[in-house]
Homo-oligomer: A and B are copies of this chain.
Amino acid sequence: MKKFINAVEQVEDQMIQGMVKAYPQYLRKLDSGNIVVRSQKKEHKVALISGGGSGHEPAHGGYVGTGMLDAAVAGAVFTSPTPDQVYEGIKAVATDAGVLMIVKNYTGDVMNFEMAGEMAEIDGIAVKQVVVNDDVAVKDSLYTVGRRGVAGTVFVHKIAGALAETGADLDAVQAVAQKVINQVRTMGAAIRPCTVPAAGKPGFELSDTEMEVGIGIHGEPGTHREELKTADEITDMLLQHILDDFDYSGSEVAVMVNGAGATPLMELFIINNRIADVLAEKGIKVYKTFVGEYMTSIEMEGFSISLLKLDDQLKELLDAEADTPAFKA
């Protein structure tokens, strides 16, 4: 296993420390674990908390800041944070306006966030949640009942975060988060797996001519394996799955081309070149495009495409100010 690390058991701690030391203007780490919160707490607004396993950097700590999250809780690599950790995060950022938990649909995450929410409610904190399940590749998976939550989660952070910043109440922030979830779809593929440090070997193996289609974000295999095709052919296939699943015709959309960790930007732009052409041909108008690493799987070489159907409210919130380490608008 070739990695720039010190020791397998120090990876998560040193990563979070290094993130907080890079961005003290945005982030503060709680003493009680790998939980980062805004360096300046904002009172009387709905607090947004998200998180999950480590290994998805910049998610989720990179999205803590004005206009997005208030707290991010990081478990071990690809492992849910414990209910206690999430509970500590909730307590640190809760305000009189309540807390919205943005949870990706993995069995461990859903269970642990729910338990944490119940613990916080006993303390008198108003807590609601949304569960993101944007991955169209699978109906159920190794780790989920129902679809997985993947890169589309970043749109939920951005848009719900922007509404929370305006002083909207908990019901309204939950509603707009759910609207994003209802209207976002994602699918991905990879040509090289990633290695979880504690495992020491890749999550799956591919030959020099194979790709894995329908990957999740936890290094797990996708839905099936195929011969590697051209960037355009792969893009067409993934887009078709997305367009078959949700009716974007005549819509304006936001596009995210998300690198899985080791995919060069050069290739993500080549993929976006095709996405733009296909959507134009189908009469789907691109309002804004995001190309980069938003929700990674350590050093997996792969990508996902997300489409979010927009309306006037979502466009305004997507464009609203965001000032975080990894997302600025």
Report which A residues bind B (CB closer than 8 A).
Answer: 2-7, 11, 14-19, 21-23, 54-55, 57-58, 62, 191-192, 194, 208-209, 228, 230-232, 234, 255, 257, 261-274, 276, 286, 289-291, 293, 296, 298-299, 301, 303, 328-329
Contacts and interface: CB of A to CB of B under 8 A. Distances in A.
Copies of this chain per assembly: 2
B57 A5 contact: no
10 contacts: A17-B273, A18-B268, A18-B269, A18-B272, A21-B276, A22-B276, A22-B290, A194-B264, A261-B264, A265-B293
Contacts of A289: 21-23
Contact of A18 (B3, B4, B22, B276): B276
Given A2-B192, A262-B262, A264-B57, A269 B19 contact: yes
Nearest to A233: B6
A231 B6 contact: yes
Contact of A4 (B6, B298, B303): B303
A191 to B, nearest CB: 5
Contact of A230 (B5, B55, B273, B286): B5
B228 A298 contact: no
Given A208-B2, A230-B6, A265 B57 contact: yes
A228 B159 CA distance: 43
Contacts of A192: 2
B18 A271 contact: yes
Contact of A57 (B19, B54, B269, B293): B269
Contact of A6 (B18, B232, B272): B232
A274 B55 CA distance: 19
Contacts of A290: 22
Q: Which interface residue of A11, A19, A329 has the most chain B CB atoms within 10 A?
A: A19
